[in-house]
Amino acid sequence: MAIPKNEIANILKYFNSHSKNLQFTIEKEDSEQCVPFLDTRVHRDDTTIKLKWYRKETHSNKMLHYYSNHNINTKINVIKQMKTRVERICHESYIREGINNLMEIFKQNGYPRGLLTKLLFSSNITDQQQTRNTETTEEIHYASYPNINGLTGKLKRIFQGENVKIAVHNQKTVKNLYSRLKDPIETAVKSNVVYEVKCENCEQTYIGQTSQWIKRRMALHKSDITKHPERCALASHAFNLDHRVNFEDVKVLKTEKNYRKRLVLEMIEINKKENTINKKTDTNKLSSIYRYLLEKSKERENEIFFDGPVDE
């Protein structure tokens, strides 16, 4: 508020008279005619109000560290967005000071000087480049990749020039650093899973997926065996061969909320097993690339490790 000095006490008393549960305090401008407000410092220059980007002296200046397990694009975007924030907040006379402060803060967080100089002090993308990037009318496809050093960047470069945007996510998260304090969920009430059940009369297994609780899906399997054995391979196997299925010992192979991803995981698990009850059509939509990689992994598992001749 901009108020006369001799009315400060009266205005504060008026504000605090409305409710005893809502009491205000006043912070007056200092000798430089400035007062902090949120993450800004308001400067009264005669009749002009100027803002500058401001952090308290006690602020830790912690940013996303350069050596953290994040994609390099994420770190670059942090620098760009902080620069944009300073430019939008600050009066033009304080922008240079704010950029210099950003430079020092990012250097404290491990960022190389060359990268900071290029991003903080270079000119922005021209309007023509921005227009060219936004005027595409073709459909854009989106994908999500885990951040793996030395691999994810190469995969992203493969799709350069295509209408594909790849979002990179981290596998190492804060959640993984702490122990799980919640009680584990019982298998019977787990949902959005790829599961495996075994036949008690032979060595074959059945792999399926469901968004329901496992106990509800098992109840449907039991019903299909007696009433509709043609509905799935498990019901046909148990009905035609008079075999018993061990519904009490269900094994959860994967957990995935996304339906399409869960179907892919189901096909991969079926393809990995050699003695499944599932129909061949259950894996028809599995990519030939996945098939090749799975076969190669099986071959490696069967390889005998040779470490030179054994001394007699």
For every residue of 19-37, DSSP letters joined together read -TT---------TTSEEEE
Residue 288, classed as helix, strand or coil, is helix
Is 3:28 a contact under the CB 8 Å cutoff?
no
Q: Do 293 and 195 share a domain, yes or no?
A: yes
The dihedrals phi and psi of 56, each to the nearest 5 degrees, come to: -65, 160
In a domain, 296, yes or no: yes
Is 102:83 a contact under the CB 8 Å cutoff?
yes
User: For residues 154 and 148, what is the distance between their CA atoms, to the nearest angstrom?
Assistant: 10
Is 181:206 a contact under the CB 8 Å cutoff?
no
Q: Do 198 and 284 share a domain, yes or no?
A: yes
Q: Residue 205: beta bridge partners?
A: 198, 276
pLDDT value, residue 202: 92
In a domain, 149, yes or no: no
- Look up the domain containing 288 and give its range: 187-300
Instruction: List per-residue pLDDT tens for the chain, 312 residues long.
Output: 778 888 989 999 999 999 999 999 888 888 888 888 888 888 888 888 889 888 888 888 898 999 888 888 889 999 999 999 999 989 888 899 999 999 999 999 999 999 999 999 876 544 444 444 555 567 888 888 888 877 888 888 888 878 888 888 887 777 777 776 778 889 999 999 999 999 999 999 999 999 999 999 999 999 999 999 888 899 999 999 999 999 999 999 999 999 988 988 888 888 888 888 988 676 776 777 666 666 666 555 555 544 444 443
Last residue of a domain, one of 123, 144, 162: 123
Distances (CA, A) of 148 to 75, 145, 153, 155, 283: 15, 9, 8, 10, 28
In a domain, 226, yes or no: yes
Nearest to 274 by CA among 304, 302, 311: 302
- The domain tally of the chain equals 2
Other C-beta atoms within 10 Å of 32: how many?
Answer: 9
DSSP class of residue 122 equals: S
User: For residues 13 and 7, what is the distance between their CA atoms, to the nearest angstrom?
Assistant: 10
Last residue of a domain, one of 100, 123, 146: 123
Last residue of a domain, one of 75, 99, 123: 123
Segments in 194-258 forming alpha helices (H): 214-227, 233-241
Digit-coded pLDDT (tens) for 66-75: 988 888 888 9
In a domain, 17, yes or no: no
In a domain, 76, yes or no: yes
Give residue for tokens 């560290």.
Answer: 65
